Structure 1
Amino acid sequence: MNAPVPSPRRTRWLAVVALLAVLVVLAVGAGLYVGGALPAPVPPAAGPFGYTDYAQALSHVRPSGDLDFEGLLRDRASLERFVGSLAAVSPHRQPELFPSPEDGLAYWINAYNALVLLQLVERYPDGVDASWFGGFYWGHAWPVGGERLTLYALEQRVLLGEYADPRVHFALFRGTRGGPRLDGAPYQPEFLDAQLNDASRRYMGDARHVKLEDKTVHLARLFQDRRQDFLAALPEGRGGNVLQFVWAFLPDTCEERPGCDTRGDLDRACGPQLDRCRVDFIPEDTSLPDAANTAARR
């Protein structure tokens, strides 16, 4: 007796169901990948964990924050060794090696910045703009202490999810000229509080990020995108004014950065409550912070 032949309608329905099932599996897998929820192999550690190799790579950061890519390419092996060491050691896998919150936070900031730096070296002369839809931050995952982490997962799940210090936003190098500047030395747990304050002051003292014109304060779009993080750090909580956070890290004078705006400038223009000014959010310069390009423009 011959088996019944499925009707064309039923065949089409089964094909649609199978396609939807495949799409669901792909979507779940992509979500796990981007969110950093997939495991990664853990190689044996090559030696005690430290930041010496990373410091060598950072020696090619200019005082302006631009990068000497020629020097970085020569020292690529140092950067790759440090990134390789992340695969074997992390605060999640060996918390005993990172006993304080400062130990852990310094590790994760350095890890994030080193991965951005390595990706720029690998893509050079292309930068962040060469990736579609922000893929620079979520399109690649690295093994970090048994986890496969994208830059997105590192920032959102680990750095902001576990530590929630808004100053971290100014310490994370995003591979762009208009973003937070890469420091010329690794973040160290014993100096972390001072380093985070310095990173915040550098950011606020840069006219590309904070610029006062009459009664308008032009702020980098970072202050709009992460507004709730900054407001939560204020004594008033989430009902405050983001300019209060900005004010806390503005310089008192502009001796080191001529042309910057000071706390006194903001007070005079915006009033004691900083409520007399209009805030305008400006886009970030996403070009590559290449020292060679800087020299060519002069």
Structure 2
Amino acid sequence: MTRVNYTTLKQERSTLNDVVQAFSQTTESDFTSWSTPRQLAFLINAYNIFTLQAIVDHYPIERRWFDFWNPANSIKQISGVWSTFRWQLAGSQMSLDDIEHSVLRRNYSEPRIHFAVNCASISCPPLRASPYVDVRLERQLTLATRDFLASNEGIRVEGDYLYVSQLFDWYGDDFVADYDNLVEVPGTARDRAIAGIVAKYGPSTASQVAQSGRARIRFLPYDWSLNDLH
């Protein structure tokens, strides 16, 4: 899990705004002319930088008077952050939900994007220090997947039980096409897919359990607290 120094980022917000502006200047014709890896890298980077801007614009985050079930400093305290806030991107006004669900998940068969986009929370996959780049994208996505699955937020092993991130509960069906035929486990195609990606990318102990034929999938609680350095 990577912590972000939002205090410093807010002090240097002009640089952040410049980066956002650079993304907004990319036209639809520019975007459609790119290779698939370049498009993917661009969209992942855009999602992450727009999320940072949304946090900085509301930092320090204050609890909404009616929201006592989420942490006080959570991105979930920012009303409309995923669905209402919009940015200019590749010729369209897009929300974070648009980028993730309507573009990345719908148009690209790459479920590992779930380990690359960052929702500014403790249980999210780490925000990497360097941007995603087309020529290194395959390696970067592999590393992002391995790093997350090696963390306590990604997997915890207890006997034959694999306790995995709730990301797999929400988006596990995205992994079925690529991973449900790698190992046999009791349960659904989604369970097999989760075990499959753990077998392929998870740390040794988790991978062995996933390949044992006895693995049971369970989900970890999700910590929505802000991934703040302070």
Same fold, judged at TM 0.5 (above): yes
Alpha-carbon displacement from aligned partner over 1:244-294 (angstroms, at most 9, x marks no partner) = 112211134xxxxxxxx4423x25xx62x3xx13221122110001111xx
Instruction: Answer yes or no: is 1:75 the counterpart of 2:12.
Output: yes
Deviations 1:67-94 (A, max 9, x none): 011221222111111111222204x331
Q: Which amino acid aligns with 1:291?
A: L
Post-superposition shift, 1:111?
Answer: 0.4
What is the aligned partner in structure 1 of residue 201 from structure 2? 249
Q: Would the aligned equivalents of 2:23 and 2:46 in 1 still touch at CA under 8 Å?
A: yes
Alignment partners' CA distance in 1, 2:44 and 2:29: 17
Distance apart, 1:164 and its partner CA: 2.1
**Alignment length (residue pairs):** 211
RMSD between superposed Cα atoms in Å = 2.0
Residue 89 (structure 1) aligned to one of 26, 32, 36 = 26
Cα pair 1:166 1:230 within 8 Å, conserved: yes
1:191 to 133, 136, 147: 136
Distance, in Å, in 1 between the alignment partners of 2:31 and 2:229 is 38
Tell me what 1:119 maps to. 54
Report the secondary structure of 2:122's partner residue.
coil
Q: Which moved more, 1:144-153 or 1:238-247?
A: 238-247
Q: Distance in 2 between matches of 1:172 and 1:251?
A: 21
Report what 1:103 is aligned to.
38
Match of 1:162?
A: 107
CA distance in 2, matches of 1:241, 1:159: 19
Contact 1:106 1:192 in 2 (8 A): yes
> TM-score, normalized by length of structure 1?
0.66
Tell me, yes or no, if structure 1 residue 282 matches structure 2 residue 220: yes
Tell me what 1:232 maps to.
Answer: 177
Moved over 6 A (4+): none
CA, structure 1 residues 235+281, in 2 after alignment: closer, same or farther (shift >3 Å)?
closer
Percent of pairs with identical residues: 26
Counterpart-to-counterpart distance in 2, 1:171 and 1:137: 17
Partner Cα distance (1:171, 1:78) in 2: 22
Determine if the alignment matches structure 1 residue 178 to structure 2 residue 95: no
Code of the residue aligned with 1:81 in structure 2: it is D
Corresponding residue of 1:263: 207
Task: Give the stretch that moved more between structures: 115-124 or 226-235.
Answer: 226-235
CA–CA distance in structure 2, aligned partners of residues 284 and 147 of structure 1: 32
Flag structure 1 segments of 5+ consecutive residues without an equivalent: 1-63, 253-260, 293-298
Q: In the alignment, what sits opposite 2:3?
A: 66
- Mapped partners of 1:247, 1:207: distance in 2: 16
Q: Structure 2, unaligned stretches of length 5 or more? A: 62-73, 183-187
Q: Kindly provide the CA deviation profile for residues 15-41 of structure 1, in whole angstroms up to 9, marking residues without a partner as x.
A: xxxxxxxxxxxxxxxxxxxxxxxxxxx
Report the residue type matching 1:289 in the other structure.
Answer: N
CA distance in 1, matches of 2:202, 2:90: 37
Q: CA deviation at 1:241?
A: 4.0
In structure 1, what is the Cα distance between the partners aligned to 2:169 and 2:105? 16
Q: 2: CA distance between counterparts of 1:241 and 1:164?
A: 14
Q: 8 Å contact 1:231–1:245 — kept in the other structure?
A: no
Does residue 130 in structure 1 map to residue 77 in structure 2?
yes
Aligned counterpart, 2:150: 205
- Report deviation, 1:152: 0.3
CA contact (8 A) 2:16 2:53 kept: yes
